[in-house]
Amino acid sequence: MFGKAKPFTGELIERTQACTSCGKNEAIQIGKVDYWDIKQSNVVQCTACKLTQLDPMLTSEETAKGCLAYYIEESGRTSKREEQKNHVRNYRRGYLFAQSLNSRGIQPKHILETGPGSGYFCQGIKAVFTSVEVTVMDVNPKVLEFNKHEHGYHTILSELETTLADFENKFDLIIARDILEHVIDISAVLKNFRTYLNSGGYLHFITPNGHEDVWKHHLAFILKNEPSELLINHVNYFDGHGLRSLLNRNSFNEIEYYTYKLKHYRRGKGWKVANKLMAAISTKKSSDEFINKTLPETESAPKVDILNKWYLKTNLKFITRLVVWYQHTNLIKLNPDKNVGHEIYGLFRLMK
């Protein structure tokens, strides 16, 4: 399973939708998947460019519905305390990232973060580059509202595939953490990033090592021949080598590129309960039932501030510096071509 990504062998099929990277129609079927009860699809690998994707893709409506159901399920599992710990973790990661930019002599002034979540990653960056201007883009108005209110960021409500004329050459850094695996038309998104960045600007991303997930679905497919559960709406499954060449073809050149997170098992319910090697067989969870029944409970739950302000404050300043120093000296970085590790980290530079 480990080692350089080999092309899958299997039945050649005609895709229902062309590859969004190279436009070819021929693929190999790797798995069958269900996204809750919302969509039945296939995991296929393009025979020409080797990108692994869903076929058919999810529509925007299906993605939005699945995201909402998943969000409700996830909030049910995540305590307020855990949520605040996540803010602190993201702040640390932002701080660590900014330090690494600084050590390369890179000092961004205008940042675009896509899918910012809590926005604390850029707060960590702002601790290093105090005058940096942050704009965030998302499809969820609630996320944008939070980022504007909490951090004072500029906000843009938009899908990444839509080209926004106002932002040509506006940014010197685009951040896409856990985003690329969700976008339906990866070529359109990279083209927009090329437009929004000035020449010599940077793209930073993290994305799951899709090679690992594909194997889980593939095993369920060949051993059980039943649809496996698509945990979250991942529509692209990048392997380290394939992602690099996709970026290179789009004029992004590698500055730093590695895989990490070796010890921990993938977070997420399905992977934990399932056999570690095989994806869980689909249970066709009812999204409507989940949304209708659980939403009132989630919304009426008391929002208690469990962590004291001093915890957040101390963590955001002093402890962060210690942890970041520790992580910096201990992070194991591997060549993505090896396809080991759960997460792929990238910093690429655009040469127009």
> Residue 154 contacts by C-beta under 8 Å, 6 or more apart in sequence?
133, 134, 135, 136, 148
Q: Which is nearer to Zn ion, 9 or 300 (CB)?
A: 9
DSSP code, position 48: T
Token pair for 216: 């889980």
Q: Is residue 13 within the footprint of Zn ion (CB under 5 A)?
A: no
Give the C-alpha distances (Å, rounded to integers) separating 121 from 91, 115, 309, 316: 5, 11, 19, 11
Q: Which is nearer to Zn ion, 24 or 241 (CB)?
A: 24
Provide the minimum distance between the beta carbon of 19 and Zn ion in the complex, in angstroms, as a whole number.
3
The torsion region of residue 339 among left (phi > 0), alpha (psi -120 to 50) and beta comes to left
Contact mark string toward Zn ion, 28..67, x via CB under 5 A: ------------------x-xx-x----------------
Total residues in contact with Zn ion, by rule CB under 5 A: 8
| CA nearest neighbour of 264 among 343, 157, 184, 147 | 343
| CA nearest neighbour of 196 among 306, 114, 303, 295 | 114
Provide the minimum distance between the beta carbon of 196 and Zn ion in the complex, in angstroms, as a whole number.
24
CA distance 98 to 4: 31
CA distance 228 to 280: 6
Q: Which is nearer to Zn ion, 15 or 285 (CB)?
A: 15
Token pair for 126: 């702002």
- Buried-exposed string 1-20: b where 16+ CB fall within 10 A, e elsewhere: eeeebeebebeeeebeeebb
Q: Is residue 21 within the footprint of Zn ion (CB under 5 A)?
A: yes
Provide the minimum distance between the beta carbon of 111 and Zn ion in the complex, in angstroms, as a whole number.
31
Of 18-26, 103-111, 134-142, 193-201: span binding Zn ion (CB under 5 A) = 18-26
Q: Is residue 187 within the footprint of Zn ion (CB under 5 A)?
A: no
Q: Which is nearer to Zn ion, 21 or 207 (CB)?
A: 21
Q: Is residue 235 within the footprint of Zn ion (CB under 5 A)?
A: no
Provide the minimum distance between the beta carbon of 186 and Zn ion in the complex, in angstroms, as a whole number.
10
Q: Is residue 22 within the footprint of Zn ion (CB under 5 A)?
A: yes
Q: Which is nearer to Zn ion, 245 or 283 (CB)?
A: 245
Contact criterion met (CB below 8 Å) for 136 and 154: yes
CA distance 68 to 12: 35
Q: Which is nearer to Zn ion, 51 or 96 (CB)?
A: 51
Q: Which is nearer to Zn ion, 16 or 308 (CB)?
A: 16
The torsion region of residue 311 among left (phi > 0), alpha (psi -120 to 50) and beta comes to alpha
Provide the minimum distance between the beta carbon of 123 and Zn ion in the complex, in angstroms, as a whole number.
38
Of 12-20, 36-44, 153-161, 250-258: span binding Zn ion (CB under 5 A) = 12-20
Q: Which is nearer to Zn ion, 56 or 268 (CB)?
A: 56
Provide the minimum distance between the beta carbon of 185 and Zn ion in the complex, in angstroms, as a whole number.
13
Interface residues with Zn ion (CB under 5 A) are 19, 21-22, 24, 46, 48-49, 51
